[in-house]
Amino acid sequence: MKKNPTNHSSSNQKKKWVDKSNHSVKTNLENLRVLYEDNHIIAINKRPGDILQSDKTKDPVLSSFAAKYIAKKYNKPGEAFISILHRIDRPVSGVVIFGRTSKATSRLSQMFKNREIQKSYWAIVENPPNKTSGTVINFLKKNSDRNKSYVSHHETKGSKESQLSYKHIGSGDKYHFLEVEPKTGRHHQIRATLADIGCSIKGDIKYMAKRSNKDASVCLHARKIEFIHPVKKELISITAPPPAEPIWDEFLRISESE
């Protein structure tokens, strides 16, 4: 029997936040957007521009803010234990989960590997897909020097099979709204695949978008994640509100009217 999910979204949270359209607000300890937390995991709504772990930019990292948040809230000395379980590209927004214990980390890591965790994304694209819904299977090859993945329609040396499904939710005056569910976890999978089928994501000039967004974001949002809790064994569903911008507000309106 399928368990009813425990749903966690902005409407259930006591803490409010403002997400400015130019993303001039950078994530810090005071404005960290916690979607869900318990003794084993914590889920954060990532802003575009946030990074999950240290890179060559030396910018502050979301995982460190999560650790400091836990330490402060529960009066722990130093930074609390936090582990990175999956990744979201820097210009992308949305839900990301971290492990708070070694047990949860080990079990969730295995669940990601076994594709037992369901993720859905919202994408704002420049052109509508040819079909209102579909599944795309291709092969992606990562070029680390360019930090870019290239699509081929048959297996080549160094490529990995990629699969996702999509649904056309609706359209605005200039852009079109898709819900995307990746079945595999390849580098830049959604961005590269949507561009390959003629649906480049708004702002994603790396993958053939016409122009960049002013804040260097791309209009891809990790909307929802569902999984069986690694310890409690109940179905958890966590939903992240998109950036508070008119174009995302329109997406929300159309999705709620379905």
pLDDT at 25: 66
Separation between Cα atoms, residue 225 and residue 100, nearest integer Å: 17
Separation between Cα atoms, residue 139 and residue 154, nearest integer Å: 6
pLDDT at 8: 64
Q: What is the token pair recorded at 2?
A: 């399928």
User: Which residue is it, tokens 């704002």?
Assistant: 124
How many CA atoms within 13 Å lie on the side-chain side of 219? 29
219 neighbors 203 (Cβ within 8 angstroms): yes
Q: Which helix (H) or strand (E) holds 253?
A: helix 246-256
Residue 209 is given by DSSP the state: -
Separation between Cα atoms, residue 235 and residue 219, nearest integer Å: 28
Is the domain spanning 6-256 CATH 3.50.80.10? The answer is no
The three-state secondary structure class of 192 is helix
Separation between Cα atoms, residue 166 and residue 183, nearest integer Å: 11
Q: What is the length of the chain?
A: 258
pLDDT at 53: 78
Q: Enumerate the domain spans of the chain.
A: 6-256
Sequential DSSP letters for 71-136: HHHTT-SSPPP-EE-----TT-EEEEEEESSHHHHHHHHHHHHTT-SEEEEEEEESS--SSSEEEE
Separation between Cα atoms, residue 57 and residue 49, nearest integer Å: 12
pLDDT at 188: 98
From first to last of the 258 residues of the chain, give the pLDDT tens digit. Answer: 445 565 665 433 333 333 333 455 689 889 999 999 999 999 999 999 999 877 777 788 999 999 999 999 999 887 799 999 999 999 999 999 999 999 999 999 999 999 999 999 999 999 999 999 999 999 999 999 999 999 999 999 999 999 999 999 999 999 999 999 999 999 999 999 999 999 999 999 999 999 999 999 999 999 999 999 999 999 999 999 999 999 999 999 999 987
CA distances, 49 to each of 26, 90, 122, 234 (Å): 8, 5, 17, 32
